[in-house]
Structures are given as structure tokens and as C-alpha cells.
Structure 1
Amino acid sequence: MNSVRITRAVLAVTTAVGSLSLGACATGADGTEQGTAPGSAVVGVTMVPEGERRPLGEIRGETLDGGKLDVADHRGRIVVLNVWASWCAPCRAEAPHLADVAEETRSEGVRFVGVDTRDTRRLALAFEEEYGVPYPSLYDPDGRLVLSGFPKGTLHPRAVPSTVVVDREGRIAARAMGELSREDLHGMIDPLLAEG
């Protein structure tokens, strides 16, 4: 009887861990893409009820173009943080949607910020130019910003791409892992716009 429970528990954990990689990229030591899961499904959008949200940690640093950016400067606005890399196929697929929704929602006070990770600056800048990315991206080649900016126990990016939406109070309100469509993005942003 115990072996049956253990087997079921192992299967449940294996299934859960396997689902985290859907639509996400993996890289080798040289930063090249090692493959993606078939399709590019979003691995769940998690929305956090307003009363249960926790503050985003400090996310600031140098942008790809050499400027400085502190996400805290956007307090009072909804912020969409997209963790991406130029070598990631789902990142390339979602880039036009992110660019379009960033432009559509700017007049409503929504700000988009990219976090380019495990990448080279040259390739990342070429990616932004190719896809017409209209918002700044922090340069995070070793992943330190992503690791330090999300306090323990909060929703944090676990794959590339990942998208986290922060409410007007600077609290983590939603997270998605994997490639997003326009509809997915609006599904994360629109409820926060409705909060006033």
C-alpha cells in the first residue's frame, strides 16, 4: 500500500515538474538554445487576489542601451515585466504581441519592462530592433536581477520566457510562464486596470 502511494506521489511530482518546462527554453553553457517543448503553450497564468499580493523586490540596473532603470520608479502604474532572451524561440514568437499590447495600454498607464537574461548585449539589441520592442530592457546576463528581485514565497519567473505583472501598489499580481498571446496579456492586465 505504501509503495502505491509513493509511486503516485512520484508521478504527481514528475508531471508537475515536467509541466514547468512547456513553452520554455533551455540553454547550454554557450548560451545557445538547446530546444523547446513541442508547441508553445503558456504554462498557466496565475492571478493573485488583491488582498494576498506581496511586494516586488528591487529590480534595477543597466538597460541594454546603457541607461539606468529602476522598476520602483513606475510605482502608481501597472508594470509588465517580461523575462526573455534572443536565443529563445517562444520569446521571438511572443515579441510582436508584447510590443503591440505595450503600445495599446501605454495611455492607460501600463508600462512594460524587459529583462534580458543569459544573453549577449549584441544579440539582445538586434532582437529588440528586429521586433520593434518599444520599451526598455534591463540587461541581466547572469540572472541575478531575476533571482534577487522576487522575495521568497512570491510568484517569480521560473523559465524563459516568463511574464510577471505588478499592480499599481508595486505588488506581484500575476505570472505566466511560456509564450503569451495578445489575449493572454490582456487577461493579465485588464483586471488590474479595472481595479481603479
Structure 2
Amino acid sequence: MSASRAPRRLARRRRTTLLAAGTAAAALALSACGDGASGGSAQTRFVQGKDGIDTVKRANRQPAPALSGETTTGKNLDVADYKGKVVILNVWGSYCGPCIAEAPNFAKVFKETKSKGVQFIGINTRDTDKSLATNFEDEHKVPYPSLYDPTGKLMLRFPKGSLNPQAIPSTIAIDRHGKIAARSLGPLTEDALRKMVTPLIAEK
């Protein structure tokens, strides 16, 4: 190997290592289970609530990304099919303690609001086998479907500067027009979940 080629190969190797490290760090951040910290900039235009729920005024909301795929039970599901309803997306994993804690709250509020034009949909992520997810759903009596997203690719579809999921659990509220209206990073109580859903039910 000539002396001139060695520095170039070393530089390429260093760039590849840094890129791999950055990708791994991003994946680790998304797979973390626990409370997330809300961050913002002038581009996000959301209001950080004291209860941990971030909201966006109707004029500033961004469209939700295309979210479709196979559910934990092997059925096909497309979130776009629920346009016209308020959609509550809950990102969860069977290994996640806070997800276990909030599961009965979601089941209860879903049953209270489903007749009012609200659809709950889970996004199960980082579970390497569907049986882990379905066992969780059976044990905690989850009454609504969940997309199976073991690699977290659906989470990464949310547009930059929007209220995107950044932790497990995260909850995203989508209004009747298919736009991202609110977000919570971390587990939600029944009351906090109702506070997220109720204003969107009232919107026309």
C-alpha cells in the first residue's frame, strides 16, 4: 500500500465508524423505556403542558405520516383508513414497565370514547417475537389493535419538527383531519389521557 492511500483509507474507515455509532445511538434512544424529555424549537410550534402533554394549534399541525402494516395478530392495518376519527397512537413494548402501568388506563378510556369517534391503535416496537406482544395484549386485556414494528421504522416516519415519538411509551394524538395534534412522552394516567382526547373529540 502506498503512503498516499493509507490516510484516505483511514479517513474512510473513521467516517464509517462514526456513521455506525450515530445510527446505533439513534436506535438506542428510540428503544429506551421510560419518561422522555420534551424538547422544542421555533419549528415545532407546540405548547408544552405542565401535565406532560404537548399540543399544537390547529393552524400549525403537520400531517401524520403513512403508518400501515401487519398487526400483532397478523391482520393488515392502515391508520389512514381512520381519517375522520380521532386516532390515539400508543407506542409500547411488552418489556416496558411504564407500558404495563398505563395499559389499563388506555383500555378504560378507549371503551369510554370509541362511540364518540375515537380509535386507539398501538405500535408495538422492539419485541423480537409477536408472541411477546400478543401475550401482553391478552394479559392486560388490550381491546384495540397494534401494528407490529420490531425495528422501530414506523416511529422514524414522523416528520422532523413535528410531535414525534421519542421514547417508549409515547402517545400521539391525531385529529379528524389526519394531523398530529398532541403528544405525551412517558406513561399516562386516565385523567391525563382524557385531557388529551376530549378537546379533539369536540373539534369538527
Normalising by the residue count of structure 2, what TM-score does the alignment of the two structures yield?
0.75
Q: 1:180–1:25: structure 2 CA closer, same or farther, 3 Å change rule?
A: farther
Corresponding residue SS for 1:164: strand
In structure 2, stretches of 5+ residues that fail to align are 1-28, 36-49
**2:167 corresponding residue in structure 1:** 159
Hey, what does 1:145 align to over in structure 2? 154
CA distance in 1, matches of 2:163, 2:31: 19
Are residues 1:130 and 2:139 paired?
Answer: yes
Q: Provide the rounded CA distance (Å) in 2 between the counterparts of 1:178 and 1:43.
A: 11
| Partner residue in 2 for 1:71 | 79
Which residue pairs with 1:112 in the alignment?
120
Which SS does the other structure have where 2:91 is aligned?
A: strand
Task: Tell me the residue number matched to 1:100.
Answer: 108
Match of residue 58 from structure 1: 66
Which 4+ runs in 1 deviate beyond 6 A?
Answer: none
CA deviations on 1:87-134 (whole Å, 9 max, x unpaired) are: 000000000000111111000010000000001211110000011101
Distance 2:53 2:105 in 1: 16
Q: TM-score, normalised by structure 1?
A: 0.78
Matches within 5 A, 1:20-59: 26=32, 36=34, 44-59=52-67
RMSD (CA atoms):
1.8
Counterpart of 2:54 in 1: which secondary structure? strand
Q: How does 1:174-193 map to 2 (within 5 A)?
A: 174-193=182-201
Separation in 1, partners of 2:178, 2:32: 30
Distance 2:143 2:106 in 1: 9
Q: Which residues of structure 1 form unaligned runs of 5+?
A: 1-20, 28-35
| Native 8 Å contact 1:25 1:161 kept in 2 | no
Identify the match of residue 90 of structure 2 among 79, 82, 86: 82
**Whole-Å Cα distance in 1 between the matches of residues 155 and 69 of structure 2?**
11
Q: Which is greater in Rg?
A: 2
Please state if 1:173 is matched with 2:173.
no
